Amino acid sequence: MGRRTAKHLLFAVFFFCLMGVSESFGAKNFGTSPDEKTALKGAQYVGSESCGACHEAEVKAFQLSTHQRVSLPQEGLEVQGCEMCHGPASLHVETSGGKNNILNPKRDMAACFQCHAEKQMEFRLPYHHPVMEGKMNCTSCHNPHGQDVRPWSATTMQGVNEACFNCHKEHRGPFVFEHEAVREGCTTCHQVHGSLHPKMLVARDNNLCLRCHTQINFPTIGKSSHSGRLPSGTCFSAGCHTAVHGSNFDDHLRY
Ligand code: HEC
Ligand code: HEC
Ligand code: HEC
Ligand code: HEC
Ligand code: HEC
Ligand code: HEC
Ligand code: HEC
């Protein structure tokens, strides 16, 4: 397509790097389809100005978003605005829109991994959300165009829990006996991209619970001595405090 100026060539190189990343995942069910790759060949970056005519909602939302704030206007178009995630959009714009002529990170998360490479490693840890498997994606929990790409703030973790309840409804409660730890957010105990520990826990044994429950007179925890209990297993797996998220029956969260 069009003249091959040095600039265009540069963009093409960037773009093929991007494609290279997506290819190396080797996951057929979430990568860009071969059709899409062919269709995108030769596309160029055009800037975000033209998008508004047809995608008013996204453009409006994006103005205050995290990634708009981290756009680098002095750098190339590939790290600015819409195209930092959607790739070069010239074909899409020239043909007045449509599918399969523009990247959608919903199908191809290589766009995100370009800049967040370490996240790719997290989703490859032994226990992880099935993102690389194509069963969910970054936008299951993150809001790509919204004011905060993390739809919760630093001061309240409530929004994190809401994001989780979309899929893990059974943990919503309300429970007669709540575990205060859950109020501090699911991420106090879970590493939600991925973890070395089963159930994506931040620690796999008593240490998880003892972060908050160590007491001066350990091994007395609460009002009872745990000296005979701790060796028989972890607080939650030894058949004791199995209702770690809250209980309707027992104030010691035992069932
Ligand atoms: C002339 C109108 C028009 C312009 C300009 C336009 N688009 Fe689109 N876009 C469309 C239409 C129509 C669709 C298809 C919507 C559908 O079928 O759901 C679309 C779809 C998309 C999709 C989803 C594609 C998919 O396969 O899932 C993305 C992402 C997108 N546009 C981004 C952009 C960006 C970024 C720009 C600016 C660089 C842009 N569009 C400019 C009309 C336009
Ligand atoms: C941080 C990366 C990122 C940026 C920057 C970005 N988007 Fe998106 N966009 C996404 C993701 C991820 C999706 C898929 C959302 C989903 O899961 O449905 C998406 C989806 C879309 C869609 C398809 C919506 C649909 O319902 O199918 C359009 C249109 C779109 N974006 C337009 C834009 C426009 C216009 C801009 C710039 C103003 C922009 N995007 C900037 C990541 C981004
Ligand atoms: C062109 C580079 C670039 C792309 C592409 C990109 N990001 Fe980002 N993103 C950044 C930068 C820079 C920051 C701010 C610094 C940081 O926290 O890493 C950021 C911040 C974030 C944050 C919030 C961090 C915080 O502390 O609030 C999330 C979540 C995020 N990005 C997710 C995504 C997702 C999901 C995609 C793909 C849809 C994506 N990013 C694509 C560069 C990018
Ligand atoms: C199951 C929900 C979920 C999915 C799926 C998810 N994230 Fe996150 N992400 C989170 C949560 C929760 C945090 C905040 C972690 C914290 O504060 O401890 C976060 C934080 C981040 C951050 C900020 C830096 C950090 O580690 O605190 C970035 C960047 C990010 N995610 C990128 C991504 C990308 C890219 C994808 C897709 C490949 C993705 N996330 C998929 C839930 C998710
Ligand atoms: C889009 C749906 C979705 C969202 C949102 C989501 N999850 Fe998940 N979660 C899943 C799926 C799917 C699995 C994998 C289930 C399996 O492998 O059987 C999973 C697995 C888990 C597991 C491990 C379960 C096990 O038995 O090993 C934990 C813990 C978990 N999620 C916590 C969270 C937390 C915390 C959040 C919010 C930050 C969250 N999830 C958001 C869909 C979701
Ligand atoms: C106090 C620490 C803690 C907090 C906070 C916490 N979890 Fe858990 N979660 C655990 C432990 C421990 C397990 C493993 C239980 C087991 O193996 O019996 C677990 C297991 C899970 C599982 C897989 C097994 C199941 O019960 O379905 C999911 C899903 C889950 N948690 C989601 C969440 C969500 C969503 C939140 C936030 C509302 C949350 N967790 C908050 C400690 C916690
Ligand atoms: C982030 C801090 C935190 C973590 C981590 C945490 N808890 Fe708690 N837990 C609390 C707070 C706060 C209370 C309510 C005050 C109290 O009773 O100490 C509580 C109460 C409890 C109670 C009810 C009180 C009682 O006397 O029986 C049990 C049982 C309990 N936690 C078990 C656990 C288990 C098991 C784990 C590990 C999976 C765990 N907690 C992890 C903060 C935490």
Distance CA 39, CA 203 (A): 46
**Contact in structure between 102 and 91 (CB atoms under 8 Å):** yes
Provide the CA 138 distance to its chain's centre, in angstroms: 4
pLDDT at 27: 31
Q: Is residue 40 one of the residues assigned to a domain? A: yes
First to last CA, the chain: 65
Q: How many domains does the chain have?
A: 2
* Nearest ligand, CA 96: 1
Work out which ligand 3 atom sits closest to the CA atom of 144: 38
The CB of 136 under 6 Å from ligand 4? The reply is yes
Distance CA 43, CA 80 (A): 16
The CB of 110 under 6 Å from ligand 6? The reply is no
- Domain range holding 162? 158-232
Work out which ligand 1 atom sits closest to the CA atom of 89: 38
The model's pLDDT over 15-58, given as tens digits with 9 standing for 90+, comes to: 444 443 333 333 323 344 445 555 677 899 999 999 999 999 99
Quote the percentage of the chain above a pLDDT of 90.
51
The answer to whether residues 88 and 28 belong to one domain is yes
The CB of 163 under 6 Å from ligand 6? The reply is no
Better pLDDT: 144 or 215: 144
Q: Is residue 198 one of the residues assigned to a domain? A: yes
The answer to whether residues 76 and 168 belong to one domain is no
Q: Determine which residue's CA is closest to atom 32 belonging to ligand 2.
A: 58
The answer to whether residues 89 and 191 belong to one domain is no
Write down which residue in 52, 87, 117 finishes a domain.
117
Q: Cβ neighbours of residue 249 under 8 Å, at least 6 residues apart?
A: 176, 177, 243, 255
The answer to whether residues 111 and 178 belong to one domain is no
Q: Is residue 145 one of the residues assigned to a domain? A: no
CA of 215 to the centre of ligand 1 (A): 58
Q: Is residue 197 one of the residues assigned to a domain? A: yes
The answer to whether residues 22 and 97 belong to one domain is yes
The answer to whether residues 28 and 86 belong to one domain is yes
CA-based angle 137:139:141, to the nearest 5? 100
* Predicted structure pTM score: 0.90
**Cis peptide, bond prior to residue 34, ω within 30 of zero:** no
Average pLDDT over residues 67-78: 86
Q: Is residue 252 one of the residues assigned to a domain? A: no
